[in-house]
């Protein structure tokens, strides 16, 4: 049970912070299918920083891990600004733009990773090898039956994500900026009539989405493979979108969806091992979160209430 909790949390928390990024964007009225591209671009920047500066730190130092996460957040935010420019400034179709941003990130990061490895490190590889992210066990709490799994051998980035999630919740629901952002997703013309700049709010929301996605992407790179490649982030952005929709664009409910996906994935791996199935069955287990997504959306989508102006291209002249 502890193993299911440990591995489930390691998968669910990065997914959760990416989904929060999607909530910010879509609650502002901008449909965001580009989360996968944001996390990929951010993780690429963070991983590149980590491998280029590896010689400046001792092998036991955890500084590169946290610095690379900051760089990943910056990279994800910058890449998200491109998407915001397309959707808000040039009023491009948001769905098509999101898909293009994802494809561009996948192709560009794969190409750049291979070229940098060849020209800088003189080796033929399509991935950056990263250090192992630090883990922590809390004495006493880890000894509690079942619940102790949450305090055993967990990654330190899970704490960072929880802190970031609390801050994101407070910003979205308890501040004037959050109130205006949510109003943009329901009635942007009313926000404009109140004297607020709708485009500015949406820019900030989308860029914040990229920042949080970059953090999640870097955490996935450290957790899943201990390396970065384009395969690290394939599919997880869309899974985060599914969690956001199942959570009805609300942060607490989205956390529940991410935990379901994470525990389903980790329980599947444990089940395969205990039943003695060949290791190839582990690949089949990877579809469990996506199967759950389909089932949850079938049974619960009728109760979802998306922001009323989600996907509508705001035109101030039509007010």
- What's the pLDDT band for 298 if we cut at 50, 70, 90? confident
Mean pLDDT computed over every residue of the chain: 89
Would you state the pLDDT for residue 5? 84
Residue 281 has pLDDT above 70, yes or no: no
- Could you tell me if 198 and 316 are in contact, meaning their C-beta atoms sit under 8 angstroms apart? yes
d(CA 20, CA 311): 18
| Angle of helix 156-174 versus helix 198-220 axis, rounded to 10 | 170
pTM for the model stands at 0.94
pLDDT tens readout for residues 131-140: 777 788 888 8
pLDDT tens readout for residues 199-221: 999 999 999 999 999 999 999 99
pLDDT tens readout for residues 217-237: 999 998 876 889 887 778 899
- Could you tell me if 220 and 21 are in contact, meaning their C-beta atoms sit under 8 angstroms apart? no
State percent of the chain over pLDDT 70: 96
pLDDT tens readout for residues 71-124: 999 999 999 999 999 999 999 999 999 999 999 999 999 999 999 999 998 888
- The whole-number average pLDDT for the span 31-39 is 96
Residue 318 has pLDDT above 70, yes or no: no
- The whole-number average pLDDT for the span 37-52 is 95
State percent of the chain over pLDDT 90: 58
pLDDT tens readout for residues 141-168: 788 877 877 888 888 899 999 999 999 9
């Amino acid at each position: 049970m502890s193993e299911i909790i440990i591995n489930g949390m390691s998968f669910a928390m990065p997914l959760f912070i990416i989904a929060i990024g999607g909530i910010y964007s879509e609650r502002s009225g901008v449909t965001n299918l580009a989360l996968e591209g944001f996390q990929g671009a951010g993780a690429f920047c963070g991983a590149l920083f980590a491998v280029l500066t590896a010689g400046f730190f001792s092998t036991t130092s955890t500084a590169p891990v946290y610095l690379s996460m900051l760089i990943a957040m910056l990279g994800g935010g910058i890449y998200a600004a491109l998407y915001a420019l397309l959707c808000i400034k040039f009023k491009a179709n948001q769905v098509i733009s999101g898909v293009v941003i994802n494809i561009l990130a996948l192709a560009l990061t794969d190409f750049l990773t291979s070229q940098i490895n060849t020209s800088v490190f003189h080796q033929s590889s399509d991935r950056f090898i990263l250090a192992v992210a630090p883990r922590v066990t809390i004495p006493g709490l880890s000894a509690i039956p079942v619940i102790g799994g949450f305090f055993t051998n967990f990654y330190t980035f899970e704490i960072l994500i929880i802190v970031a999630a609390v801050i994101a919740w407070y910003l979205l629901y308890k501040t004037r900026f959050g109130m205006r952002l949510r109003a943009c997703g329901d009635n942007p013309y009313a926000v404009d009539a109140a004297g607020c700049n709708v485009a500015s709010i949406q820019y900030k929301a989308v860029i914040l989405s990229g920042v949080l996605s970059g953090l999640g992407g870097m955490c996935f790179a450290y957790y899943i493979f201990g390396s970065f490649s384009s395969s690290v982030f394939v599919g997880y952005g869309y899974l985060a979108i599914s969690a956001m929709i199942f959570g009805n664009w609300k942060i607490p409910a989205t956390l529940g969806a991410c935990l379901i996906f994470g525990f389903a994935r980790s329980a599947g791996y444990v089940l395969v091992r205990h039943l003695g199935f060949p290791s190839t069955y582990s690949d089949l287990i990877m579809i469990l979160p996506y199967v759950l997504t389909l089932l949850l959306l079938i049974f619960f989508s009728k109760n979802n209430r998306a922001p009323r102006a989600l996907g509508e291209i705001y035109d101030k002249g039509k007010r």
